[in-house]
């Protein structure tokens, strides 16, 4: 029955406790034998967020693999806490992918996240060993030898099999390799009873499936696909295919993005209630988004502002926040974007205390030229545009904090402090 | 390696983390990173009853002789004890003494 399905050799490779392992190796410790957590202590993390936990710390303290809070961490003297260095992890990720490129052609490698990559070895595995398993072991040894890091590998005949093999089997197997093929779907996928351990099924989807009387992957595979589709839409069909280990994705065929967008958001370090302070942050983020538009040579004609209320305010207001968009003349100028953002903010904000600000731009077009208006002198318009580009050039060359607006020094501004962060955490670049 | 500049950076960066708290042992960890071919410096805090902390300070590249000169200068400037990892079997060029007498802690 699987005759017409694609049969490839797909590896999904994941770095075991990536950030924690990188930090252990940098200190000369074995990543599997160190009790270490990477903790971000930015002002907006409310005491500290655990970004990564070494395998031994997970085992000893029963810590979650994903982000948890400082308060959940035992205060125990054998536990080593280190700050994150995001730039170092990005560098390591690039080095790891360079190693993978020795085993596959460029078009057969897809970095999936900071610590996961998908490799299609269909055409190349025979060059490196007698079996895909032998090649997987060779890749593991190479990464370990050159970077000191342990990798976990899921092997499948398509990407979803490889992903499930990785998540459900490889992480628990002594050689850190898991394999699923069409033949072993009944043994390896149908036997899974914890639905949320399967890629793409989280709590809400699992609850939905439970309501349909589906509690295991076997039950999902034997459910009526038409019923699943009627109940859950296209996702229902996809889940059904997943239960049978079917995935027809052609990885080499790049998905064309229909409409890209550029935006930024941030969680504030404390609750903001004063209009001027909130508007200051909106302006800062607006300027950051405008600079990114200019950097990508794009203009936007639709801008959205998302505001998240603080916990108490959302209880009171009965909603978590608001998000609204506005169509504008295509632009990437600071003043025009900020004017639109403030218009949106003042129209919809009713004095709530807020904790979250997001600015997104969509309907992007090429930055081919500027639409001058009749109402402002041309010299003034050109001057504004030149000024923004000069500031951009200075920041590209010397760093963001070379020139900042005086307003960023006011109470509530976050731009200066955020300049050194990568993905919201300490980049560590000043230490390189 | 530029001894004076590296020394200045290491001291500058550890200062904000040194609070002279009681019941806390402080140390500078020097690791030999064979993957990046660097010597990495960390400022470690070992409280007697709480979590340890380890703050990255600096990384340098160079020969063992250069590292030895930097370590000597560091010992002159600060009194923190020094810990070494990844130097198993290696000896200081001037004295021929083992850098890392035995494998220490943490693992």
Q: Calculate the alpha carbon distances from A413 to A262, A272, A281, B61 in Å.
A: 22, 11, 6, 38
Q: How far apart are CA A50 and CA A61, in angstroms?
A: 13
Residue B98 included in any domain: no
Show the DSSP H helices in A251-357 as ranges: 275-295, 311-317, 334-348
Contacts of A146 in chain B (CB under 8 A): 35
Q: Tell me if B85 and A29 make a contact (CB, 8 A cut-off).
A: yes
Contacts of A82 in chain B (CB under 8 A): 53-56
Residue B78 included in any domain: yes
A30 touches chain B (CB under 8 A): yes
Exposure string for B4-38, b = 16+ CB within 10 A, e = fewer: eebbebbbebbeeeeeeeeebebebbbbbbebbeb
Number of domains in chain B: 1
Q: Tell me if A83 and B34 make a contact (CB, 8 A cut-off).
A: no
Q: Tell me if B46 and A428 make a contact (CB, 8 A cut-off).
A: no
Q: State the nearest Cα–Cα gap between A35 and chain B, in angstroms.
A: 7
Mutation target among A19, A20, A22, A27 for the B interface, most CBs of B within 10 A: A27
Strand, coil or helix: what is A416?
A: helix
Who among B29, B35, B50 is closest to A148 (CB)? B35
Residues with Cβ within 8 Å of residue A346, at least 6 apart in sequence: none
The pLDDT score that the predictor gives to residue A243 is 95
Question: Which of A168, A165, A196 lies closest to A182, judged by CA?
Answer: A165
The pLDDT score that the predictor gives to residue A13 is 96
Residue B93 included in any domain: no
The topology (CATH level 3) of A189-255 is DNA polymerase; domain 1 (1.10.150)
Residue B104 included in any domain: no
Percent share of chain A, pLDDT over 90? 57
Q: Tell me if B35 and A76 make a contact (CB, 8 A cut-off).
A: no
Mutation target among B51, B82, B85, B88 for the A interface, most CBs of A within 10 A: B51
Which residues does B contribute to its contact with A (CB < 8 Å)? Answer: 13, 29, 31-36, 40, 42, 46-59, 85-86, 106-107
| CA atoms A122, A128, A133, A139: torsion sign | negative
The pLDDT score that the predictor gives to residue B107 is 47
pLDDT digits (tens, 9 = 90+) for A21-56: 999 999 999 999 999 999 888 766 666 788 889 999
Contacts of A77 in chain B (CB under 8 A): 46-52
Q: How far apart are CA A149 and CA A91, in angstroms?
A: 13
The domain segmentation of chain A, as residue ranges, is 1-184, 189-255, 262-431
Q: Tell me if B51 and A79 make a contact (CB, 8 A cut-off).
A: yes
Q: Tell me if B46 and A77 make a contact (CB, 8 A cut-off).
A: yes
**What's the farthest any 2 CA atoms get from each other in chain A?**
74
The two tokens of residue B107 are 């693992």
Q: Answer whether residue B105 shows pLDDT above 70.
A: no
Contacts of B31 in chain A (CB under 8 A): 26-28
Q: Tell me if A431 and B59 make a contact (CB, 8 A cut-off).
A: yes
- CATH number assigned to the domain covering A1-184: 3.30.70.270
Q: Tell me if B51 and A76 make a contact (CB, 8 A cut-off).
A: yes
Question: Which of A79, A132, A76, A80 lies closest to A104, judged by CA?
Answer: A132
Residue B106 included in any domain: no
Q: State the nearest Cα–Cα gap between A400 and chain B, in angstroms.
A: 22
Who among B40, B50, B59 is closest to A77 (CB)? B50
pLDDT digits (tens, 9 = 90+) for B10-69: 999 999 999 888 999 999 999 999 999 999 999 999 999 899 999 999 999 999 999 999
Q: How far apart are CA A306 and CA A261, in angstroms?
A: 14
Who among A30, A77, A82 is closest to B54 (CB)? A82
Contacts of A25 in chain B (CB under 8 A): 33, 35
Contacts of B36 in chain A (CB under 8 A): 26
Q: State the nearest Cα–Cα gap between A430 and chain B, in angstroms.
A: 9
Who among A34, A75, A146 is closest to B50 (CB)? A75
Quick one: closest CA in B to A31, which residue? B107
CATH superfamily of A262-431: DNA polymerase, Y-family, little finger domain (3.30.1490.100)
DSSP string, chain B: --HHHHHHHHHHHHGGG----TTEEEEEEEEEETTTTEEEEEEEEEESSS-EEEEEEEEE-S-HHHHHHHHHHHHHH---EEEEES-TT-B-TTT--BSSSS--S--
A188 touches chain B (CB under 8 A): no
Who among B51, B57, B59 is closest to A81 (CB)? B51
Note if A380 is an active site residue. no
Residue with tokens 């370990």: A144
* N-to-C CA span, chain B: 30
Among A116, A157, A279, A284, which one carries the catalytic annotation? A116
Q: Answer whether residue B102 shows pLDDT above 70.
A: no
Range of the domain at B7: 3-85
Along chain A (432 residues), what's the average pLDDT of each consecutive run of 10 residues? Answer: 88 94 95 92 73 89 69 85 92 95 93 92 95 97 96 95 94 94 94 92 92 94 94 93 90 71 88 92 91 89 93 84 92 91 94 92 85 82 85 84 81 76 64 38
Tell me if A1-184 shares its fold with A262-431: no
Residue B92 included in any domain: no
Contacts of B34 in chain A (CB under 8 A): 148
């Amino acid at each position: 029955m699987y005759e017409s399905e694609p049969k490839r050799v797909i590896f999904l490779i994941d770095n075991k406790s990536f950030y924690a392992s990188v930090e252990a190796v940098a200190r000369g410790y074995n990543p599997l034998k160190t009790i270490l957590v990477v903790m971000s202590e930015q002002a907006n993390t409310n005491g500290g967020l655990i970004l990564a936990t070494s395998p031994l710390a997970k085992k000893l303290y029963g810590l979650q693999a994903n982000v948890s809070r400082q308060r959940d961490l035992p205060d125990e003297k054998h536990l080593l806490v280190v700050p994150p260095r995001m730039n170092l992890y990005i560098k390591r990720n690039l080095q790891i992918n360079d190693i993978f490129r020795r085993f596959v052609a460029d078009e057969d490698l897809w970095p999936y996240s900071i610590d996961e990559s998908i490799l299609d070895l269909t055409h190349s595995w025979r060059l490196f060993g007698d079996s895909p398993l032998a090649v997987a072991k060779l890749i593991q040894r190479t990464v370990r030898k050159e970077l000191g890091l342990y990798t976990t590998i899921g092997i499948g005949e398509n990407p979803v099999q490889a992903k499930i093999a990785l998540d459900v089997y490889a992480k628990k197997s002594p050689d850190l390799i898991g394999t699923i093929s069409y033949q072993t779907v009944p043994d390896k996928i149908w036997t899974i009873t914890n639905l949320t351990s399967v890629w793409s099924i989280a709590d809400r989807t699992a609850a939905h499936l439970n309501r349909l009387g589906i509690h295991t992957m076997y039950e999902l595979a034997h459910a009526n696909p038409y019923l699943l589709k009627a109940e859950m839409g296209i996702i229902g069909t996809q889940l059904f295919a997943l239960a049978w280990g079917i995935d027809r994705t052609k990885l080499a065929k790049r998905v064309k993005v229909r409409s890209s967008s550029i935006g930024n958001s941030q969680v504030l370090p404390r609750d903001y209630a004063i209009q001027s302070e909130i508007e200051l942050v909106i302006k800062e983020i607006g300027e950051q988004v405008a600079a990114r538009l200019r950097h990508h040579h794009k203009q936007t004609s639709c801008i959205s502002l998302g505001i998240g209320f603080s916990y108490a305010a959302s209880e009171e207001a009965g909603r978590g926040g608001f998000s609204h968009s506005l169509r504008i003349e295509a632009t990437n100028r600071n003043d025009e974007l900020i004017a639109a953002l403030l218009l949106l903010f003042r129209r919809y904000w009713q004095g709530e205390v807020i904790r979250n600000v997001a600015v997104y731009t969509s309907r992007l077009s090429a930055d081919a030229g500027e639409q001058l208006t009749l109402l402002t002198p041309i010299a003034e318009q050109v001057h504004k545009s030149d000024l923004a580009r000069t500031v951009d050039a200075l920041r590209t060359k010397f760093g963001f904090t070379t020139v900042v607006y005086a307003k960023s020094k006011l109470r509530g501004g976050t731009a200066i402090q955020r300049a050194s962060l990568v993905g919201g955490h300490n980049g560590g670049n000043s230490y390189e | 390696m530029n001894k004076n500049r590296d020394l200045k950076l290491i001291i500058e960066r550890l200062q904000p983390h040194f609070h002279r708290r009681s019941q806390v042992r402080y140390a500078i960890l020097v690791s030999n990173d064979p993957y990046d071919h660097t010597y990495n410096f960390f400022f470690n805090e070992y409280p007697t009853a709480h979590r340890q902390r380890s703050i990255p300070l600096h990384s340098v590249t160079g020969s063992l002789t250069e590292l030895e000169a930097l370590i000597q200068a560091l010992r002159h400037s600060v009194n923190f004890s020094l810990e070494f990892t990844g130097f198993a079997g290696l000896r200081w060029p001037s004295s021929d003494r083992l850098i890392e007498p035995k494998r220490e802690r943490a693992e």
